[in-house]
Structure 1
Amino acid sequence: MLSVCIGVGMASLDTAIANTALPAMAEQLHATPAASVWIINIYHLAMVATLLPLAALSEIVGYRRMCIAGVALFTAASLACALSGSLPALVTARLLQGLGASALMSVNGALLRVIYPAHLRGRGFGTNALVVAVGFALGPSVASMILSVWSWPWLFAINVPLGVIAVALGLRVLPRTARHGGRFDVMAAVYTMGAFGLLILALSDAAHLAPLPATLAELALAVLFFVLLLRHEAGKKAPILPTDLFRRPAFALSSLTAVCTFACQSLAFVSLPFYFESVLNRSPIETGFLMTPWAVFVGIMAPIAGRLSDRHSPGLLGGIGLAVLAAGMMSLYFLPLQSTALDISWRMAVCGIGFGFFQAPNLKAIMGSAPPHRSGGASGIIAISRLTGQSIGAALVALCLSLSSLHGASHALLLGALFAALACIASFSRLLVPVLPMD
Structure 2
Amino acid sequence: MLPMTFGFLVAGPVAGWMSDRLGSRGLATSGMVLYAASFIGLTLLPIDFPYWAFALLIAVNGIGVGAFSSPNSSSIMSSVPASRRGVASGMRSTFQNTGIALSIGVFLSLMIAGLAASLPHTLTTGLRQQGVPPQVAEQVGALPPVASLFAAILGVNPVERLLAPSGTLSSLPAGNRHTLTGREFFPNLIATPFHHGLVIVFGAAAALAVLAAIASLLRGAPDTRLRRQAGAQVR
Residue 402 of structure 1 and its aligned partner are, at CA, apart by 2.6
What residue in structure 1 maps to residue 219 of structure 2?
Answer: 430
Residue 372 of structure 1 and its aligned partner are, at CA, apart by 0.8
Q: RMSD value over aligned CA atoms?
A: 1.7
CA offsets 1:362-385 (integer angstroms, 9 cap, x no match): 111111111111111111022112
User: What does 1:23-422 align with in structure 2 at a 5 Å threshold?
Assistant: 291-405=1-115, 406=193, 407-422=196-211
What residue in structure 2 maps to residue 196 of structure 1?
Answer: none
Residue identity matched to 2:105: A
CA distance in 1 between partners of 2:69 and 2:78 (Å): 14
Residue 419 of structure 1 and its aligned partner are, at CA, apart by 1.0
CA distance in 1 between partners of 2:209 and 2:111 (Å): 20
CA distance in 2 between partners of 1:398 and 1:366 (Å): 30
Given that 2:32 and 2:64 are in contact with CA atoms closer than 8 Å, whether structure 1 keeps it comes out as yes
Residue 435 to residue 408, structure 1, CA distance change in 2 (3 Å): farther
CA distance in 2 between partners of 1:372 and 1:399 (Å): 41
CA distance in 1 between partners of 2:221 and 2:16 (Å): 21
TM-score, length basis structure 2: 0.60
Residue 334 of structure 1 and its aligned partner are, at CA, apart by 1.1
Given that 2:78 and 2:222 are in contact with CA atoms closer than 8 Å, whether structure 1 keeps it comes out as no
What residue in structure 1 maps to residue 177 of structure 2?
Answer: none
CA offsets 1:232-270 (integer angstroms, 9 cap, x no match): xxxxxxxxxxxxxxxxxxxxxxxxxxxxxxxxxxxxxxx
Given that 1:325 and 1:420 are in contact with CA atoms closer than 8 Å, whether structure 2 keeps it comes out as yes
Q: Which has the higher contact order (CA 8 A, sep 6+)?
A: 2
CA offsets 1:190-230 (integer angstroms, 9 cap, x no match): xxxxxxxxxxxxxxxxxxxxxxxxxxxxxxxxxxxxxxxxx
Given that 2:79 and 2:222 are in contact with CA atoms closer than 8 Å, whether structure 1 keeps it comes out as no
What residue in structure 1 maps to residue 144 of structure 2?
Answer: none
TM-score, length basis structure 1: 0.33
Given that 1:325 and 1:350 are in contact with CA atoms closer than 8 Å, whether structure 2 keeps it comes out as yes
Point out 4+ residue stretches in structure 1 off by more than 3 angstroms: 431-435
CA distance in 1 between partners of 2:208 and 2:199 (Å): 14
Residue 432 of structure 1 and its aligned partner are, at CA, apart by 7.1
Identity of matched residues, %: 30
Q: What stretches of structure 2 of length at least 5 have no aligned partner? A: 116-192, 231-235
Given that 2:32 and 2:213 are in contact with CA atoms closer than 8 Å, whether structure 1 keeps it comes out as yes
Give the match's secondary structure for 2:22.
coil
Given that 1:397 and 1:409 are in contact with CA atoms closer than 8 Å, whether structure 2 keeps it comes out as no
Given that 1:331 and 1:347 are in contact with CA atoms closer than 8 Å, whether structure 2 keeps it comes out as yes
Q: What stretches of structure 1 of length at least 5 have no aligned partner? A: 1-290
Residue 309 of structure 1 and its aligned partner are, at CA, apart by 0.7
Give the match's secondary structure for 1:430.
coil
Give the match's secondary structure for 2:5.
helix
CA distance in 2 between partners of 1:331 and 1:431 (Å): 31
What residue in structure 2 maps to residue 194 of structure 1?
Answer: none
Give the match's secondary structure for 1:437.
helix
**Higher Cα Rg, which structure:** 2
Residue 327 of structure 1 and its aligned partner are, at CA, apart by 0.5
What residue in structure 1 maps to residue 165 of structure 2?
Answer: none
